[in-house]
Amino acid sequence: MSERPHLVMEVPRRGKPPRHFADLTPQERVDAVVALGQPTFRAKQVATHYFDHLTVAPGDMTDLPADEREALASALFPPLLTSVREISTDKGKTIKTLWSLHDGAKIESVLMAYRDRVTLCVTSQAGCGMACPFCATGQMGLTRNLSAAEIVEQARLSAAACRDGAFGKPTRLSNVVFMGMGEPLANYSAVLQALRTFIAPVPNGLGLSARHITVSTVGLVPAIDRLAAEGLQVTLALSLHAPDDATRDELVPINAKWKVDEALDAAKRYFDATKRRVSIEYALMRGINDHGWRADLLAEKLLSRGRGWVHVNPIPLNPTPGSPWTASTPEDEREFVARLAAHAIPATIRDTRGSDIDGACGQLAIKEAT
Ligand code: SAH
């Protein structure tokens, strides 16, 4: 394996994507249409097309004056995402899309249909600066932050695809997880604006339930506290992967800055502020972090902070090319969960949808240079 990437806290400055309707707050949308010489009520009409009809095509906007549709749409909806490739797997229940951004940067999102929900895994940054050595995106380094609209567009286009039968019959996008490429809390303001837009009722936003949205983080403690104070009911997931600092220092480089106990304290404060049960993400790696005693130590650390505030999501590692780590055996996985259960810590093994198309957790990286 080549030399490990380094942890990057400074975001590279690159050309910003053009300003888009979905970057704006509802008041800014009104200001934007007025600046285009339109009456204020246009903002609601335009928002209805975008968030309710999920369209940016001027031809669909028949309630706007015919000779102004084109100009309005091109001013408010500059194209941000172009689908380059779509790959489907799991009998058509998982669809990964590779998107090209305005500057040629590439990102991916993954749409997964379940019996009772449809979940979109969104990307918040092109690449990632957190340098976790077992994660494919972590190996790419950070290219740039996405804008709020680049995040919202992943959801708008996915919601339209669901409605239009991407899974064989019309479905509804119901859940969003920030578990695609990037560290969402390192792109705080764009992610917050995207969250508010996901949650705002139609036509001000996509009308998703906050409780159906999960923000996953390596554990940027000040940003966790900031998010806790926003008054949103979104779920926090903390990528812990080890209960001891020696191992976590290796697996999650940000642990050099915020230790296991500090990250867990912040997660508990998040629960206290929101009453939303926190998820602890734990990628099981054979012989690295999957020992029974580590399950006991994890349980002990969680219980020392209270009961009923947390849920553990172990997932077998999806090994990335060149990775020295492999997934735990099913027996070790079962033992790990059983140990947690013995301490009355709820744990559910997370599924590994899309692993054969490099669409599973931690496998999102851009392979081709076409
Ligand atoms: N940066 C954020 C969100 C993106 S990753 C975070 O780290 O939480 C989403 C989840 O996938 C994280 O829990 C991450 O640790 C996990 N992950 C990364 N690479 C993985 C891999 N190869 N196998 C299994 N899970 C992985």
Tens digit of each residue's pLDDT (9 = 90 or more) over 75-98: 999 999 999 999 999 899 999 999
Residue with CA at minimum distance from ligand 1 atom 18 = 362
Question: Quick check: CB of 127 below 6 Å from ligand 1?
Answer: no
Ligand 1 mean position, distance from CA 323 (Å):
14
Question: Quick check: CB of 336 below 6 Å from ligand 1?
Answer: no
Residue with CA at minimum distance from ligand 1 atom 19 = 362
Say yes or no to pLDDT of 368 above 70: no
Say yes or no to pLDDT of 102 above 60: yes
Confidence at 331, pLDDT banded by 50, 70, 90: very high
pLDDT at 1: 43
Tens digit of each residue's pLDDT (9 = 90 or more) over 4-14: 678 887 767 67
The full DSSP string for 128-142 is: -SS--TT-TGGGT-E
Residue with CA at minimum distance from ligand 1 atom 13 = 239
Residue with CA at minimum distance from ligand 1 atom 12 = 239
Q: What does pTM read for this prediction?
A: 0.95
Render the burial of 350-364: b for 16+ CB within 10 Å, e for the rest.
bebbbbebbbbbbbb
Q: Which atom of ligand 1 is nearest to the CA of 239?
A: 13
Ligand 1 mean position, distance from CA 248 (Å):
13
Question: Quick check: CB of 318 below 6 Å from ligand 1?
Answer: yes
Say yes or no to pLDDT of 259 above 60: yes
Chain-wide mean pLDDT for the chain?
Answer: 94
Q: Which of 12, 248, 31 is nearest to 141 (CA)?
A: 12
Pair 130, 138: CB distance under 8 Å: yes
Confidence at 370, pLDDT banded by 50, 70, 90: very low
Pair 215, 185: CB distance under 8 Å: yes
Could you tell me what percent of the chain has a pLDDT over 90?
87
